[in-house]
Chains A and B, each alone.
Chain A
């Protein structure tokens, strides 16, 4: 596999990289889409790693590149009509195998078996014409040479496992006959039918009601405990992050601006964008008599990403660092404390001061 990736490497890595120790490691991932308007840099140099049994939440607003990242790991970008145009570089190591340079069919064999994905809207993510059970059976039989009968038994077992009542009956139901929560459960059953070691959940609860969301988050947490898989949770909801994540990665304009253990990131956030996200969220657990603190302006264009720090046009503190550095130099991720990284030009003292004096009291 490693050999294969070297020969097939279109990336032009000068030195063939060694397989990392982490279960999943993404190194300098870039996903660009050429369009008529220009090159869309959806993901532009993203690195992170994830161990089995841990949950990483990728947070960001629409267009931050969080969904593109997840689909890049799954290798979904290279398929379909857009697939021919996408420009991908960097490395994605999953369990010792490099995926970016791997042959498409090798990645296909991993899809659904070693890495699986659940999506935001379970109604549109399931084929409306096929029975739920048949769709799970299909997912199982792609990777297991078993009879339909065996696969069906497995599908019923999985439906039961994700808490669908009367699984032997519901297995023959169509997606539209399921409620939203049940559909998402079925979707999870489909994703987990092959015991994947990596589960990517792309906004799995955004389309659901809060009470159902609570059920689904619980389910994901329980299943992760049971199977010990690694989970990437893509979301825009910091509440969901706090609920489920061990580590957090905040994305802005296709890059990571802050990364670290969830407790750390919520407790001592280091990036002004993270402050902005926290400040603009109304909270249920507090009486907020104060106004929300929104981030001014709107998310950046991925074609003309602002120079320097991509966040500088919206950052209230962009003028604090001396010179024009925020406008000209792109900040790199720097270690703040153990495992906690942030890409910001503000000095550690400034960040500390602003957070404790200006931001935290208002939250």
Chain B
């Protein structure tokens, strides 16, 4: 199991990728930038498990916090509002 690459507070970008297989990165979050809320532990890769492989080595999983205004440019709620979503490490890159 690899050490997690990111830590709470890191600015990250969710990859703008569109695989055809099973994955757990919601479409609406792809390509967006946010901040790591926490590292959740490492888990077998669902993109492998779905096809009956073992999903090892386990992949670090994070919760990423995104401001609603960044996800939905015409968001009508409050400026403060946020969304947190679980994203696996191979879907994240540093946002510098």
A binds B: no
